[in-house]
Structure 1
Amino acid sequence: MTALVATSGEAALELLEHATPDLILMDAVMPGLDGFATTRRIKEDPALAHVPVIFMTGLIGPEHAVEALRSGGVDYIRKPIIIDELLARIGVHLTNARQSYRSRLALDVAGGTLVALDRAGRLLWCTPQADTILSRIDAGWSKDSRHLPAALQDAAKSLLAEDTRPGHSVRETLDDTEIELSALRSERPGEMLIRIAEIREGADVALLQKHTGLTQREAEVLLWVSYGKSNRTISEILGISPRTVNKHLQQIFTKLGVETRAAATALAVRVIAQ
């Protein structure tokens, strides 16, 4: 292991501008910015939010452990430190963090256009594909702003309502395209995953036909599958029965040489993104 040392919260934040560690050991009591405030600042930065923070401090009160976890820490170890226990905890949290990071990478590679927002609407992270769409919506937008483009903020707020269930979606019409935001389930408290889709039905159907050899109806079905719609919803959109949708899907799988809905979606996303 290589250790980088900072003796204050301000020094830690400055150090993190130049290097991203695999894990952070955080004291609670430091001169200037304390460990709780420093951790909150770290977790507000999308580039650092994935880094696990373990508090390692002499404060023994349960209220301090609660504050540490609420600020974004993953663990709270009281001094005196037992080295073997510390190393074991580091190993567990590094494994969890890397599994989570690999999941994010898998979403990126598969073409997932996902963003994660906290309950106040602040941007926690987004996949590269979502970044591309958001930059097209607002040329001056940057994920460093920690918010969605202004044109999508009202739609996002409606999805952040307490009673919103996974699958609920809203649309915003912007110039020559529609943007659909769909709520997804997240396993992290206080976080909502949102899928962003550009609805350019006519142009995208034509692209799918050109590059896959599908009929127009098959391309329409594949397009809505790539938007994450169920067979029943697709049947309502296209005015056909769910059974007919399923028959088209079987033909699509055969023509594309794939076996699953996910594989067909990944192929469609790659074609549309060209």
Structure 2
Amino acid sequence: MTTPDTSRKTVLVIDDDPAVLGLMDEKLAESGYTALLAQSGCAALEVVARTVPDLIVVDALMPGMNGWEVCAALRHDMRLTSVPIIFMTGLTETEHVIRAFEAGAADYVTKPLRLEEVMARIGVRMEAAARIRSAHGALDHAGRFLFATSRAGAVLWATPQAGLILEELADTTGTAISLPGTLPAPGGVLLRQNMGEHEFVLMLVGATGPDELLLRITRQALFPEKILRDRLGLSAREAEVLLWISRGKTSRDIADILQVSPRTIDKHIEQIYNKTGLSTRAAAAATASRLLQAG
């Protein structure tokens, strides 16, 4: 039995012309890509519901959903915000090209297709998207869950973790973010919303373009001590002490906050180490922060 090569990049090609699909399928395979083929916009949406391709190529003029409508629908899926879309079009008028970019396309090629040029553009867009995903992943790793919206609130892109949080919120807020008419200063809070045992906080980082706002989203536990108690098997007081350790407090600081002696705090810390298998304050703080972030 042959094992699928998961390292091969996947390209979704959307075109109502079987001849174009056949040519692209052959050329993509020859170039080391896995091709997914869709003969209509509706079929393409069914494909992306099951899998997220690395890049999408879509024809502009198709019966049913045209390329602009397909592009707009794809851009409403937060899983696809970082997936580049290349338009194929025989329409070279400036207004049609601009319309493609406004719908969310990263690039375009003209028909009849010059396959070597198409492959070159796919390669360039793949590489750029990989760099962006790497940068977004690094931001997530650093705890900076960022995303961008238009001033109307449409999500333009999101780091992976920010995208997951936005999906949680989508059930109550919809796919667009409701922004106030007057924005706060950078660092100001745009939205606070409680869901289950968490509070979601949306903050404005700043404007990165005429119609692009950079936002940061955080998910904070409403009952952090309970999470630490349940996940690590700690007592209520031990969970409270660990919470303050995760916030950078010294034993003396925690003793003052809880109105007990530093020696009592040290005994609680010793019990935390015994129960968790951790041996340093730094490890304890990192573990607590990770658990609270994961919720």
Q: TM-score under structure 1 normalisation?
A: 0.62
Counterpart of 1:51, as a letter, is: V
Partner of 1:215: 250
* Distance 1:105-1:82 versus aligned 2 partners, 3 A rule: same
Give deviations 1:144-172, integer Å, cap 9, x for gaps. 538379xxx7xx623xx465443223574
Q: How far apart, CA to CA, are the structure 1 residues paired with 2:141 and 2:131?
A: 15
Give deviations 1:209-236, integer Å, cap 9, x for gaps. 44688427878xxxxxxxxxxxxxxxxx
Native 8 Å contact 1:29 1:57 kept in 2: yes
Partner of 1:251: none
Q: Structure 2 residue aligned with 1:142, among 133, 154, 168?
A: 168
Q: How far apart, CA to CA, are the structure 2 residues paired with 1:38 and 1:146?
A: 25
Partner of 1:112: 144
Aligned residue pairs: how many? 218
Q: How far apart, CA to CA, are the structure 1 residues paired with 2:52 and 2:151?
A: 26
Partner of 1:157: 179
Partner of 1:45: 77
Partner of 2:216: 194
Partner of 2:204: 183
Which has more strand, going by share of residues?
2
Mapping of 1:82-121 within 5 angstroms?
A: 82-121=114-153
* Distance 1:112-1:216 versus aligned 2 partners, 3 A rule: farther
Partner of 1:260: none
Q: How far apart, CA to CA, are the structure 2 residues paired with 1:180 and 1:144?
A: 14
SS in 1 for 2:242: helix
Counterpart of 2:168, as a letter, is: S
Counterpart of 1:142, as a letter, is: E
Partner of 1:168: 188
Q: How far did 1:22 drift?
A: 1.0
SS in 2 for 1:73: coil
Alignment RMSD: 4.1
Q: How far apart, CA to CA, are the structure 2 residues paired with 1:146 and 1:111?
A: 24
Segments of structure 2 that go 5 or more residues without pairing to the other structure are: 1-32, 226-238, 255-280
Native 8 Å contact 1:116 1:123 kept in 2: yes
Q: Is 1:31 paired with 2:35?
A: no
Q: How far did 1:127 drift?
A: 4.8
Q: How far apart, CA to CA, are the structure 1 residues paired with 2:53 and 2:76?
A: 16
Q: How far apart, CA to CA, are the structure 2 residues paired with 1:113 and 1:92?
A: 26
Native 8 Å contact 1:27 1:35 kept in 2: yes
* Distance 1:17-1:94 versus aligned 2 partners, 3 A rule: same
Native 8 Å contact 1:172 1:179 kept in 2: yes
Q: How far did 1:272 drift?
A: 4.5
Asked which structure has the greater CA Rg, the reply is: 2
Give deviations 1:168-211, integer Å, cap 9, x for gaps. 23574869997643211465753432233639799698435446
* Distance 1:162-1:29 versus aligned 2 partners, 3 A rule: farther
Give deviations 1:38-58, integer Å, cap 9, x for gaps. 000000001122211001111
Give deviations 1:99-125, integer Å, cap 9, x for gaps. 111222223333334454443335564
Counterpart of 1:46, as a letter, is: M
Q: Structure 1 residue aligned with 2:104, among 69, 72, 92?
A: 72
Native 8 Å contact 2:86 2:109 kept in 1: yes
Q: How far did 1:10 drift?
A: 1.2
Q: How far apart, CA to CA, are the structure 2 residues paired with 1:168 and 1:68?
A: 34
Native 8 Å contact 2:84 2:105 kept in 1: yes
Q: How far apart, CA to CA, are the structure 1 residues paired with 2:218 and 2:128?
A: 27
Counterpart of 1:215, as a letter, is: T
Q: How far did 1:79 drift?
A: 2.0
* Distance 1:272-1:205 versus aligned 2 partners, 3 A rule: farther
Native 8 Å contact 1:169 1:182 kept in 2: yes
Q: How far apart, CA to CA, are the structure 2 residues paired with 1:202 and 1:4?
A: 45
